[in-house]
Structure 1
Amino acid sequence: MSGEVEVDNGGVKVDSGEETSTWPTMRFDVSPYRTHHFSKQFRSTRNPNNFLKGHKWSPDGSCFLSSSEDNTLSLFYLPQDGDDSNGFGVPIPEEDSYGASLLVNEGESVYDFCWYPYMSVSDPLTCVFATTTRDHPIHLWDSSSGELRCTYRAYDAMDEITAAFSIGFNPGGNKIFAGYNSSIRVFDLHRPGRDFGEYSTLQKNKEGQAGILSTLAFSPTNSGMLAVGSYGQTTGIYKEDNMELLYVLHGQEGGVTHVQFSKDGNYLYTGGRKDPYILCWDMRKSVEIVYKLYRATENTNQRVFFDIEPCGRHLGTGGQDGLVHMYDLQTGNWVSGYQAASDTVNAFSFHPYLPMAATSSGHRRFALPDDDDEEDKNKLQLKADENCVSLWSFYTTSEENNNGIQSHSSTEEEEVA
């Protein structure tokens, strides 16, 4: 997917970013600045406490997709300039920066969603994403029109539809891998319906990987390796072509909720529910934990998604304290952090090639019945920096000598110090 991509919807001209030389070197010694903010449109009279559950950038970087508690997926295109262009950011506004371009409502709770890996707005046929929801088959949605393209259905022993807990496209983009309870089902993208291959992750001698398979990721180097996380606190490494189990990683304190390979495919990072550490594994040894990266997730049941920058040197992760932490992946040392929200930051993700990132935050709140105490009612009133999505721009090394930015960077460095 090389070349320029042009968004018709007043959007942004972007390059695919495949050439690593075009990636800017982001500075993490200076806090990023907020460029856009979205919170108001996620609330309604019916669901005033609706909160975000995660988001994912499209592979071509033209837009991102967010998932919220009201079973809705919202698609936002990047504006033409990409940021607020003043280099100082914007305060948390009362009104949203702009509205979603597309809303897709699922009937039940969204378990997982993913983009087609070769999605490009210049080719409408590739503008699709897949979702899996409770008691429903896998849906393939058109991200341009919001129409349902097709479904992929798996059935249990009673011939009833069973829902996948995790989904992902293989690197070739011709298959959908889906995680179920102790099994993986593989669907051919071009053959929707009920045809699939099924592979048990639990062998007859009860060895292997048991439990709900909650997350999966493919190695970015086309090595044919697939990592699958389970609520049984294990991560299994498989061969993509025949789903042969290579080895099982033990060490997560909670059910594994997110796995991601390093850019060179040599390391794997895993995070778990109510587990304060992201674990780093060396795929060439796979027997020892290389190091642990701390994040505040001990007291939240939410999935907390982390991400690795396009250059592959740093990892960013949120937590229940509203902070985003940056770690140097070569040393495992903490680099910096900044306050992204006043609520749990449940997802942090870098833009595929621009020096930007997105955060989503929020959690479920419960109102007490027949509560007439005005003070308690006020506590339930959400602030704009709680259940929200924010876009952030990072300073780059090439910007240091630009007028205005250097002085602003110095000021922030003093504040950080």
Structure 2
Amino acid sequence: MFMLIYEAPKYTLPPLLPFLDFPLVTYSEIRASYRNCCIYDSTPDRLNPESRLNSLSPTQMENQGTWMPPPYNLLTPPVKLSTAHVAKDPSVSSNFARLAKWSPDGSVFLAQCENRAFELFGMSLNTKENQITQSMSTLPQASSILDFRWYPTASAHDPSSFCFVASVRECPVKLLDASDGRLRASYKIVDHRERQIAPHSLAFDLTAQKLYCGFEDAIEIFDLSRPGEGTRMHTTPSNKSKDGLKGIISALAFSPSYSTDESFYAAGSFTPSTNNIAMFSDQQETPLMFLQFNPTKPHLLYAAYRGSGTGSIYSWDVRSNVDAPLEILQTPASTNANSKSNQKFRFDVDIAGRMLGVGDQLGNVSIFDLESTNSEVDSNMRDIGMDDAPLVRQPTLVYKAHDDAVGSVAFHPYMPAILTTSGSRHFTNEYDKEEDSSESSEEEDGDASRPSDRRECTVRRPNPSHPVTFDSSIK
């Protein structure tokens, strides 16, 4: 698992996002094979990172009245500052973090581990020599974890809002206290067989009053103030119908705009079809894995696929023709046949909408400069028609972050830091091992052959008799 640091432009702080007093954090990595987390620094002043970060303290920014997004240096790879460990589990041979997300205030981050547990990490700046990432608590779950989402205003400084929702297989959706894992509320999804359904995707609306849960052929909408059952919205008219959005709803994303004209959300299906996004179609017949709108440009939507679409991020402008993507962000893994994978690779866009980060199967992290891509796309739209082929862009910075697959990337909401997770499942062929051991044992026993006392005997089985009729009427 990892975290990064990069440059960003001026951006006026939205009225609903006040600054909180929390410790400053730099880049962290959570490494699967060694079960640890690492902190990386990528600020321009690499010799004295503390002075560089202190110069951008929230107090100074608040006094100036304008919030400045964190700076990022894309010219050089980041430098490791500290390391943290994922808890070991005797029941799991190789425990690693599959996904990690910053809390909305950036004070802590929550990691989803392979051993069916959540692990909460906090940052410490008590020592000047090193920046330590401490594991605060471990929250084990009853079954496999499908997805989780922080409450939009969650903060370690506010116990009432310090919570998150989790989707655990064959369990109701849980609203858990992030400090001790205590169950605050549950929201159940029951199918026609009276079975508990765990959604594959979770999303809060902009008011943080409703929870949207995506599962097979439907989206369940819950009122957070009323635990229990919700309102079901089917994405297809019927099971036999070819209309609508069919299959598992694997991704949900709300447009970050409070305007009534742009108040919508996108839903993506896991079904490999040409119409697996609710708002528009796509040419890639691969399962959709993740959707996200640009925070400062709500009309731009980004989507990631798996399988043959691994390593490419597709971008659309929902104000115009969405039959074809406007732009394709390609990582080096998109041209490598060995990097194609069915693993989820979640990307993230920083709070200013300038940087997009995504990992790949080879352990690399690619950073795209969205400001330069957006300006070139706008100029290109004026010169050519929308029917032309989409622009293909390469990352601004690519660096080796892990020795294993990078499953997720998450930018810190206020600081120049990014969190990434690393790890994948590695399988060994036990059948080949058994064959090798049996062949070696036969070779050892071949030289010392012994006479056997066993006798071969042949048992003759009687021929099956013909069927007998008991009803004389059919003779």
TM-score bin (small chain) = 0.7 to 0.9
- 1:250 maps to which residue? 282
- 2:18 maps to which residue? 2
Pick aligned residue for 2:265 from 183, 201, 226: 226
Using the TM superposition, give the Cα deviation of residue 310 of structure 1 relative to its aligned residue in structure 2, in angstroms: 2.2
- 1:327 maps to which residue? 368
- 2:226 maps to which residue? 191
Matches within 5 A, 1:16-415: 21-39=67-85, 41-80=86-125, 97-194=132-229, 196-203=230-237, 205-222=241-258, 223-233=262-272, 234-237=275-278, 247-263=279-295, 264-274=297-307, 275-276=309-310, 277-285=312-320, 286-295=322-331, 296=333, 298-329=339-370, 330-331=372-373, 332-369=393-430
Secondary structure (helix, strand or coil) at the match of 1:30 reads: coil
Which residue identity does 2:299 align to in structure 1? Answer: N
Which residue identity does 2:364 align to in structure 1? Answer: L
- 2:28 maps to which residue? none
Hey, which of these two has a bigger chunk of helix by percent? 2
Secondary structure (helix, strand or coil) at the match of 1:248 reads: coil
Hey, which of these two has a bigger chunk of strand by percent? 1
Using the TM superposition, give the Cα deviation of residue 291 of structure 1 relative to its aligned residue in structure 2, in angstroms: 1.4
Give the Cα separation in 1 of the matches to 2:137 and 2:268.
Answer: 31
Which residue identity does 1:135 align to in structure 2? Answer: E
Give the Cα separation in 1 of the matches to 2:97 and 2:284.
Answer: 25
- Pairs aligned (count): 348
Judging changes above 3 Å, is the alpha-carbon distance between structure 1 residues 34 and 225 closer, same or farther for their aligned structure 2 residues? farther
Give the Cα separation in 1 of the matches to 2:355 and 2:133.
Answer: 30
Secondary structure (helix, strand or coil) at the match of 2:160 reads: helix
Q: 2:124 touches 2:134 (CA, 8 Å); kept in 1? A: no
Structure 1 or 2, whichever has the larger Rg, is 2
1:12-53 Cα shifts (integer Å, max 9, x gaps): x985999863222312122122233334x3433321212321
Give the Cα separation in 1 of the matches to 2:157 and 2:367.
Answer: 34
Q: 2:246 touches 2:271 (CA, 8 Å); kept in 1? A: yes
Secondary structure (helix, strand or coil) at the match of 2:67 reads: helix
Which residue identity does 2:236 align to in structure 1? Answer: L
- TM norm structure 2: 0.68
Which residue identity does 2:77 align to in structure 1? Answer: S
Judging changes above 3 Å, is the alpha-carbon distance between structure 1 residues 278 and 105 closer, same or farther for their aligned structure 2 residues? same
Q: Taking CA–CA contacts closer than 8 Å with sequence separation of 6 or more, which of the two structures ends up with the larger relative contact order?
A: 1
Give the Cα separation in 1 of the matches to 2:163 and 2:114.
Answer: 22
Q: 2:246 touches 2:276 (CA, 8 Å); kept in 1? A: no
Give the Cα separation in 1 of the matches to 2:201 and 2:269.
Answer: 10
Q: 1:60 touches 1:352 (CA, 8 Å); kept in 2? A: yes
1:179-236 Cα shifts (integer Å, max 9, x gaps): 0101001000011112x11111113553111110111111112332111111124443
Q: 1:252 touches 1:271 (CA, 8 Å); kept in 2? A: no
Q: 1:209 touches 1:248 (CA, 8 Å); kept in 2? A: no
Percent identical among aligned pairs is: 31
Using the TM superposition, give the Cα deviation of residue 281 of structure 1 relative to its aligned residue in structure 2, in angstroms: 0.8
- TM norm structure 1: 0.77
Give the Cα separation in 1 of the matches to 2:22 and 2:359.
Answer: 32
Q: 1:2 touches 1:15 (CA, 8 Å); kept in 2? A: no
- 1:241 maps to which residue? none
Q: 1:135 touches 1:161 (CA, 8 Å); kept in 2? A: yes
Give the Cα separation in 2 of the matches to 1:357 and 1:6.
Answer: 16
Give the Cα separation in 2 of the matches to 1:137 and 1:230.
Answer: 21
Structure 2 residue runs of 5 or longer lacking an equivalent are 1-16, 24-53, 374-392, 436-475
Which residue identity does 1:166 align to in structure 2? Answer: S
Q: 1:227 touches 1:235 (CA, 8 Å); kept in 2? A: no
RMSD (Å) for aligned C-alpha atoms = 2.7
Give the Cα separation in 2 of the matches to 1:36 and 1:261.
Answer: 32
Q: 2:108 touches 2:156 (CA, 8 Å); kept in 1? A: no
Give the Cα separation in 2 of the matches to 1:85 and 1:321.
Answer: 33
Give the Cα separation in 2 of the matches to 1:225 and 1:360.
Answer: 30
Give the Cα separation in 2 of the matches to 1:31 and 1:356.
Answer: 13
